[in-house]
Amino acid sequence: MYVSFIDGPPSSDASSQPADASPASGGQTAIILVSPDKESFFELKQMRDAVVASLEKNGLLAIIRAAASAGRPAIPAIAAGSQVSHFLYKSRANVQFSMSALDPVFASPIARRRLMTLYHQLHASVHAKHSAMRVLHCVSDEATSLAWVTPIFEFYCVAGPNVSRATITQGANKIIQWAKREEERIFIIGGGVF
């Protein structure tokens, strides 16, 4: 595996690093190249240099950096007035996920862990071996959640503890309409399969 952070100066950014290496400061753009040949460092470095040069020449590297710095979409920008705190949308045709920004509600690692655990439980419930459920609405002391599975998409969302079924469903519909409208922008359509 070859990992190269391309935001730094050219002399310091081409290096082979372990898979768990992380940059000194967050928010950097990186290229990750994977090869079955453990002796392919120089070939991967040449490939990396060619890709970065092409991206810079065509002005695409600036677009990638801008998209990375913009981060994930915020709920108010997608579904204004919605009480949904977070969502996870899976395009089944593209086998890709999109989710909203974690901040500010899920800023702490503990809050993120609880959120992912809740999504795991929702997923397990709607995909249980003998389950015919396609829509699941759960209410607890901490949150109201919704799971919705169709042949086209899977959608999971979380809202506050006192949000009604109608309100969370209305917010979910707005987000799903946004995802369908922006599908070509948020998912890689027709990409290579390896």
Q: Which residue has the tokens 């899976």?
A: 90
List, as one string, the DSSP characters of 163-183.
--HHHHHHHHHHHHHHHHHTH
Residue 160 backbone dihedrals phi, psi, to 5 degrees: -65, 170
Condensed to tens digits (0 to 9), the pLDDT of residues 131-175 reads: 778 999 999 999 999 999 999 999 999 999 999 999 999 999 999
What radius of gyration do the chain's Cα atoms show? 20
3-state secondary structure of 33: strand
Half-sphere exposure of 120 (CA within 13 A, CB side): 6
Confidence of residue 116 (pLDDT cuts 50, 70, 90): very high
Q: Is residue 42 predicted with pLDDT exceeding 50?
A: yes
Q: Indicate the pTM of the whole model.
A: 0.73
Q: Please report the pLDDT score of residue 13 as a whole number.
A: 40
| Contact between 148 and 137 (Cβ < 8 Å) | no
Q: Is residue 117 predicted with pLDDT exceeding 90?
A: yes
Q: Which of 90, 99, 146 is nearest to 118 (CA)?
A: 146
Domains contained in the chain, CATH given: 2-70 (no CATH), 75-186 (3.30.450.30)
Pick from 65-69, 125-129, 154-158 the range whose average pLDDT is largest. Answer: 154-158
